[in-house]
Amino acid sequence: MMQDRLQKTMLVCSILLSTAAMSVMLYFSATKTIIIAEEAPEWTDAARQPEERRENALYFEADERPEGIRIPLPAEIRADDIVIENRYVEHRIHIILTGKYGEFYRTNPLLGNDSRVTAGFLQEENGMTDLQLQMSGLYEHQYMFENGELQLSFVEPGQLYDSIVVLDAAHGGSDIGHTGNGIQEKDIVLEITEMVKEKLESENIRVYCTRTDDTELSEKQRADFVNELQADLLVSVRTGADEGSSQVSGIQTFYNGTYFLPYFGNVQLADLLERNTIAMTGGKANGLMEAGNEDILLWNVQVPAAAIEVGYVTNQEEADLLLLKEYKERLAEGIANAVREANAVRAEGF
């Protein structure tokens, strides 16, 4: 008897709990409005959010479409007033509007329930409004203007492009790299990678850069970006330096000898970089060198990769050359030619 009463009591409690849970689910389903904050789900109670974060969180309202986000635009906004920046390494897309529209987006939610968008936040600064979408991973974006809205959709890069190349401009930010004869490594290699990118993208090769400005990223962050992207090739652009002798000069390439593919790998890419840059510049070839395990980037990427040192900043003659735009263009063309050949070899291998 006692056991029967206990079982009945447990059954009643279970029914009551299930009913309460269903009521909560129906309530949230009916409202269809959620706030996505960068720290979710820790701040599920809006009253506990820091004031600034709560005021600047973007509101999202779900609709019937499972993919994409629709962003309402103030009536006066035109296409020329919008800049979209995809900061791939940070998994963040910035939609930058000319004008201050914080109040507009506090009362006009973004529409959509795409699970790849995990957070939303806005900033107003210098007469601009920056709408930031934090993504769950690395995605390309496509957009369209229609009916007073900016419509965004997202897709993995590998679904769009046949060839994906990553260019790495070494160092950045407070990490200035080698210095000598008026040159900072972080600046000169960024200029060269931008030139290479321009040359390759004119030929429908999709180029990603680990950095496009004076940003500081760890070697591990760069490697993680390349691996997540599942790129076909990585080329890291660097300079050399020898504090012991200003006479040391030349171009040399580095590779990780422990990672290779049967048809094309790190040694082959390093060789193509060395030969093509020497052919374009007439410089001194120092040859191929296996990278030590302290080279975190080359030792952690899982794609064919090599690093090229385009000259010694501690050598006066090479430093003078590296300051010339024409010489940097030749270096860039040599690197671009190496990538073109590598792509051709890869295509044959498949």
**What are the tens digits of pLDDT across the range 105-159?**
989 999 998 999 998 999 999 999 999 999 999 999 999 998 899 999 999 998 9
Say if strands 69-72 and 149-155 run parallel, antiparallel, or are unpaired. antiparallel
Determine the pLDDT at residue 313: 97
Distance CA 216, CA 170 (A): 9
Determine the pLDDT at residue 162: 86
Residue pair 251/273 in contact by the 8 Å Cβ criterion: no
Determine the pLDDT at residue 262: 67
Determine the pLDDT at residue 43: 27
Please give the C-alpha separations between residue 165 and each of 77, 98, 329, in angstroms, as whole numbers: 35, 32, 19
Which residue positions in the chain have pLDDT lower than 70?
1-55, 259-262, 349-350
| Helix 266-281 and helix 325-349, axial crossing angle in degrees, nearest 10 | 140
Determine the pLDDT at residue 157: 93
Determine the pLDDT at residue 16: 40
Give all strands of the β-sheet with 117-125 in edge-to-edge order: 82-87, 92-98, 128-135, 117-125
Q: Which of 40, 32, 88, 42 is nearest to 64 (CA)?
A: 32
Instruction: Tell me the pLDDT tens digit for each residue of 45-77.
Output: 333 344 444 568 898 998 887 799 999 999 999
Determine the pLDDT at residue 246: 95
Residue pair 139/146 in contact by the 8 Å Cβ criterion: no
Start-end of H helices in 65-184: 102-107
